[in-house]
Structure 1
Amino acid sequence: MPEPEIRAFEALHGIELPPQYRSFVAEVGDGPAGPAHGLLPLITPRPEADDDWAVDDEWARDRLPGRLASPFPPAEPATGRLGADADTLTRGTLTLAEEGCGMYVRLVLNGPHAGEVWSLDPDWGGFTPLDRDFHSWYTRWLTALPQASQG
């Protein structure tokens, strides 16, 4: 993704993307293959966004004015059923991927946890840290992929 588009997104939302994610988007792409059901695009909705999937609502909610720049509220992980609290807890985070069944992977954008990747499972698992940074999370997925046969 071109640097001017990334800067425009950051300016529009009053944020600075964590460096590892920012360089990934700039050098690899906006929404390429990735963990779970693949990485969500940063700027443009998924081509299938008009199919009325919950992930598209989550993507759009992230882009509401001020939401990404809001302080990340949790001082510590929230375990168990979250219910309506999930919306409040995820302020200051960006949805990276959707895992299915209402579960999401989110990147913390500000505060002491900035750059960390957290797992959101509002019905059962809560909102908890998944990896210390984007690079670790993405690399773990890459190394778990089956290796292509050689020969």
Structure 2
Amino acid sequence: MGSWDEGGVRARIRELAARDPERSRFGADTHRYELSPALPEVEVGAFEEAHGVDLPTEYRSFVTEVGDGPAGPGHGLMPLTVPRRPETGEEWAVDDEWEEDRLPGRLAEPFPLAEPLPGRIGASAGELTRGTLMLAEEGCGSYVRLILNGPRKGEVWQIDPDWGGFVLVSPDFRTWYTEWLRRSS
């Protein structure tokens, strides 16, 4: 698969914004229903080379055909590259979790789980996220992550170290993102 309908995605986001002028839906006050421009293919290729990964096709095509966040599930889709607000160019969303993902070699490491790990995780959460890319923050230490390698490559998992464990939430990025577009009506 791979190709996205950029115009359709952007139209749906505009529709969601028009229906939520107060930004009362969860996360809307953070992502503001804004979608940054798509990234040039060369920039995404440079990211992959620098980190020793091949991004899953559905996610890669989204950032090269549609946009690099933030409108999306949770508090918004985390940008692949330096996060900047589309209208102002100001940096946003850079936190310890985002920066930790970009440490040399971290994304290329093997994803350590073969099966979901439900329940309380505690202190080992950092080790469990190797080989994954943060897609969105859900709040209170809960994150949605994209598996980058191994048999579960391309799946979207949620990690909630205190209560929910590390569990599968979607078979792929396209399903995860389009479900947000649909359910946010």
- Checking the alignment, whether the CA contact within 8 Å between 1:45 and 1:56 is kept in structure 2 is no
Partner of 2:69: 31
Shift of 1:80: 1.0
1:16 to 38, 44, 54: 54
| Residue deviations 1:56-83 (CA, integer Å, cap 9, x gap) | 1100000011100000000111111111
Cα distance between partner residues in 2 of 1:88 and 1:59: 15
- Matched residue type, 1:120: I
Q: CA deviation at 1:48?
A: 3.2
Is 2:154 aligned against 1:115?
Answer: yes
2: CA distance between counterparts of 1:27 and 1:59? 22
CA distance in 2, matches of 1:38, 1:135: 15
- Per-residue CA deviation, residues 116-144 of structure 1 (Å, 9 max, x unaligned), is 00001001000000000000001111111
SS of residue matched to 2:159:
strand
Describe how 1:62-73 pairs up with structure 2 within 5 A: 62-73=101-112
Find the aligned partners of 1:40 and 1:4 in 2 and give their Cα distance.
19
* TM-score normalised by length of structure 2: 0.74
Match for residue 106 of structure 1? 145
Residue type at the aligned position of 2:51: H
**What is the alpha-carbon distance in structure 2 between the residues aligned to residue 8 and residue 73 of structure 1?**
25
1:41 aligns with 2:79: yes
2:117 maps to which residue? 78
State the percentage of identical aligned residues. Answer: 67
- Computed over aligned residues only, the root mean square deviation of the Cα atoms, in angstroms, reads 1.1
Extract structure 1 runs of 4+ deviating beyond 6 A. none
Aligned residues: 141
Q: 3-state SS of the aligned residue for 1:129?
A: strand
CA distance in 1, matches of 2:171, 2:184: 20
Equivalents in 2 of 1:62, 1:7: separation in Å? 17
Distance 2:96 2:134 in 1: 11
Residue 7 (structure 1) aligned with residue 45 (structure 2): yes
TM-score relative to the length of structure 1: 0.90
What whole-Å deviation, never above 9, does each CA across 1:10-57 have from its counterpart, x for those lacking one?
Answer: 0000000000000000011111300011100101035135xxxxx711
Does 2:178 align with 1:145? no
